[in-house]
Amino acid sequence: MPATYDPVAPPDLTLPPSTNTVSVSIIDTTSSITGLPTSRFFVPEVSGAKYFVDVRAFSFLIQHPRLNRHLLFDLGIRKDIENVPFINNLKSSSAEVKVEKGVREVLEEGGFDATRLEAVIWSHWHFDHTGNPSTFEPHTAVIVGPGFKNKVAPGYPANPDAHFLESDYTGRELREIDFSPGAGVTSIGQFRALDYFGDGSFYLLDTPGHAVGHLCGLARVTSNPDSFIFMGGDACHHPGEFRPSKYLPFPPNISPNPFTSFTAPTAPCPGSLFEGLLRDGDPTRSFYDLSPSGVHYNVEEAEKTIAKIQGADCRDNILVAVAHDSTLPSVVDFFPKTANEFVEKGWVKKLRWLFLRDFAKAVGYDGEVEGISADWAKWNGTG
């Protein structure tokens, strides 16, 4: 194992103090994609991890109890996938797309009255995040990031290659976030941020790179002490894009062991097992870099956004949840439960290095790995 590195102190997030909080629930949208080559998103290609398998698309229900206001952050894939030609093109490739329920169905089955939603926030306009806003009442706005109206719209059918439909926001407010200096706009660490409710409980963050107008969310779920849930959208597609980092060096021992169950104590996994996968042997460099010719709108900007996320991810009181993190189902509670107690439940520690299970074949681990399905073995040759 390379020499142990002491972490660099992360930048101050400069979060304004507040006693106001929101409640956040992570929603399994029941949508998934299997068979996308990981090399379209990040490099290098790792043996046994060449394809995404059962890529979920998580969304978030944000509820402000004092103000009685309610938001959704992302919607996954729309249930009527046949109505978006882009998805049909994807299905004609090696990828497989599945959707069991729309998010409104999930919400109502969980006891939430969807008529109370004031807005749906699209982290960005790709089909696996936009869902079907037309299933919600006309008073439910659609919120998008900077540049959407001028650089992305219109949707289908005016643009036959669009990821979304014009009917997604026809007859409702389409609100584009403006991060220019003004009321409610501040800085959270290196991010430009908009204080959505004006009370320090929920921020929209300017996170460009992957797509025009990409947004992330930062929700304060407890105060005194503070804890936050970072809704990452597609700012990253795999935790190996932002871990390890100079703020969170790769450890000499990994606990919990990513190859074993959380249900019983097990010995830590030696970090030396992954030494051959560390980039240039550097325990402060992420396992993956962004693909220079893949799906990202602006790779340079996307890399800057990831560097900013690293400054938040190293903290035990911030749960970073990107939309396609396949490790989440092994650890978190999904809607209708809330994620507010993630600190007490130890989710950050359990999730931090769990993605290393994706590298089981690459490091020669030949035992059973929890969370690695038969489909994973079929696509990535781990069976």
Tell me the percentage of the chain whose pLDDT exceeds 70: 91
pLDDT band of 1, cuts 50, 70, 90:
very low
Encode 112-127: b = buried (16+ Cβ within 10 Å), e = exposed: bebeebbbbbbbbbbb
Residue range 162-168: mean pLDDT, rounded: 94
Over 90: is that where the pLDDT of 275 sits? Answer: yes
pLDDT band at 104 (very low <50, low <70, confident <90, very high): very high
Q: Is the pLDDT of residue 84 over 90?
A: no
| The CATH number, out of the four listed (2.40.33.10, 3.30.390.30, 3.60.15.10, 3.30.70.20), of the domain defined by the range 23-380 | 3.60.15.10
Instruction: Region of 65 please: left (phi>0), alpha (psi -120 to 50) or beta.
Output: alpha
pLDDT of residue 335 exceeding 60, the answer is yes
pLDDT of residue 91: 57
Q: Where are the domains of the chain?
A: 23-380
Model pLDDT, residue 383: 45
Q: Radius of gyration of the chain from Cα atoms? A: 20
pTM: 0.94
Rounded mean pLDDT, 56-81 = 96
Closest residue by Cα to residue 80 from 135, 156, 136 = 135
Pairwise pLDDT comparison (240 vs 48), residue with the higher score:
240
Question: What pLDDT, on a 0 to 100 scale, did the predictor assign at position 378?
Answer: 60
What is the rounded average pLDDT for all residues in the chain? 92
Average pLDDT over residues 298-318: 97
Q: Is the pLDDT of residue 120 over 90?
A: yes
User: What pLDDT, on the 0 to 100 scale, is given for residue 24?
Assistant: 98
What pLDDT, in 10s, does the model give residues 210-246? 999 999 999 999 999 999 999 999 999 999 999 999 9
Query: Can you give the pLDDT at residue 93?
Result: 64
pLDDT at 81 over 90: no
pLDDT for res 34: 87
Nearest residue to 125 (alpha-carbon basis) of 95, 179, 69, 84: 84
Task: State residue 373's pLDDT score.
Answer: 59
- Average pLDDT, integer, range 336-345: 98
Q: pLDDT category, 74, cuts 50, 70, 90?
A: very high
Angle (CA) 65 67 69, round 5°: 80
320 pLDDT above the threshold of 80: yes
